[in-house]
Amino acid sequence: MNLDFKIKNLLLICLIFLGVFNQYYSQAQPQEAFKTGADRPDLYLPLLKNRTIGIVTNQTGLMQDRTHLVDFLVKKGIKIKAIFAPEHGFRGNADAGETVKNGVDAKTGISIISLYGNNKKPKPEQLKGIDIVVFDIQDVGVRFYTYISTLTYLMEAGAENHVEIMVLDRPNPHDGYIDGPVLKKKWASFVGMHEVPVVYGLTIGEYGKMVNGEKWLKNGVQAKYTLIPMQNYHKKQRYTISDKPSPNLPNDKAINLYPSLCFFEGTQVSVGRGTELPFQVYGSPWTKNLPYQFTPRPNFGAKDPFLNGKLCYGENLSDYKADLRELNLEWVIKAYNNYKNPDLSFFLKNLWFDTLAGTDEFRKQIIAKKSIAEIKASWKKDLEGFGKIRARYIVYED
């Protein structure tokens, strides 16, 4: 009995020891935390040392401690010759489509050069004396969101002027899936430069790799391209982003609804610019059968919003529970079917809808009363073709 008792006690002590050891060991071996490219200075500072750089960034270029990348690089003694500002400006407070002016950053005294309006592509003289341009912007992973076009023009200018391009990667809030019509070349524009679907399922760093690798830059040139990858990023997870990417995408809900609702920008229907819920509501004065009411008014994000001062009838999607992992076509089709105005077509006369869709087929399918299943089936072949291209440039787990 005593021997058995001693053996049992010994076993119990061993088990307790092993449990404590394992607990300590697991705590002493922390999982690698998620980091954006900007939060991995050990990877990029050695590449920037003793070089003159330009930087393309905006209010989203924040590090984990909320320090702006520009301020961090200045503190580290990196010589920044110019800040290049995309759509919405360096501080991110310009309306969509508003002219972004050149100037000087009050905090650092660094020159700001607009990459929007008439100067979407850096000119040779603007790159003179610059060795490398760093690109650090929070994108939203949707074809008609223009930061991927800004990156494309930057890479093209870099290739033509022998300036290296470095992208500090950030999460894509629409990563891990692809959906929507694939753009046809005829409809290429600043809101869609490449033959990709509306949602393409690549981070902005992966997208740049694809543009370079597929030789989609003008005349097939290729940039010297360096990607600073994120740490512990997974494409189907969702991550908190540093700051709102533009004035009318103020929160995760608006960003999630954006690829489905942006088609309304080519119609007589408001997406809530000039309200407290941009890209979370939709409606028009001519869809009176729909239940929600709102009136667009000028505000910080929309100085002269579409349908300014007009009572609109539509839907409020701000409480929509689903985390969309596909385009929802129900809303645009419902609005079309409820639209009543004999003097004004649902689609804008300039057919901006086709430019956003990257094809005229989607508009024609809506007019022809095609079902959502039929419309999505028509995208399948092109999506499969793009999927093969996309697969070549994936850096992170899908």
pLDDT at 91: 64
What is the domain-level CATH number for residue 133?
3.40.50.12170
Given strand 52-57, what is the order of strands in its sheet? Answer: 103-104, 111-114, 79-85, 52-57, 132-136, 164-168, 225-228
**pLDDT confidence of residue 104:** 86
Same domain, 181 and 56: yes
Q: Are 140 and 203 contained in the same domain?
A: yes
List of the chain residues with pLDDT < 70: 1-31, 88-89, 91-101
Residues 206 and 262 in one domain: no
User: Is 215 inside any structural domain?
Assistant: yes
202 and 267 both lie in a single domain: no
Contact criterion met (CB below 8 Å) for 172 and 229: no
Q: Are residues 166 and 277 in the same domain?
A: no
Q: Do 224 and 98 reside in the same domain of the chain?
A: yes
Residue 320 lies in a domain: yes
Give pLDDT tens digits for 120-131. Answer: 999 999 999 999
Give the number of other CB atoms < 10 A from CB of residue 26: 10
In this structure, the number of other CB atoms found within 10 A of the CB of residue 257 comes to 25
pLDDT of 111 reads: 93
User: Do 276 and 312 belong to one domain?
Assistant: yes
The pLDDT value recorded for residue 118 is 85
Number of domains comprising the chain: 2
Same domain, yes or no: 88 and 216: yes
Residue 11 is assigned to a structural domain of this protein: no
Q: Same domain for 283 and 147?
A: no
Residue 338 is part of which domain span? 252-367
Q: Is residue 44 part of a domain?
A: yes
Predicted confidence at residue 120, as pLDDT, reads: 93
Same domain for 342 and 264: yes
196-251 pLDDT, tens digit per residue, is: 999 999 999 999 999 999 999 999 999 999 999 999 999 999 998 989 999 899 99
136 and 74 housed in the same domain: yes
Residues 172 and 313 in one domain: no
Q: Which two tokens stand for residue 238?
A: 């969702």
Asked whether residue 16 is domain-assigned, the answer is: no
pLDDT of residue 20: 42
Measured distance CA(98)–CA(81) in Å, rounded: 25
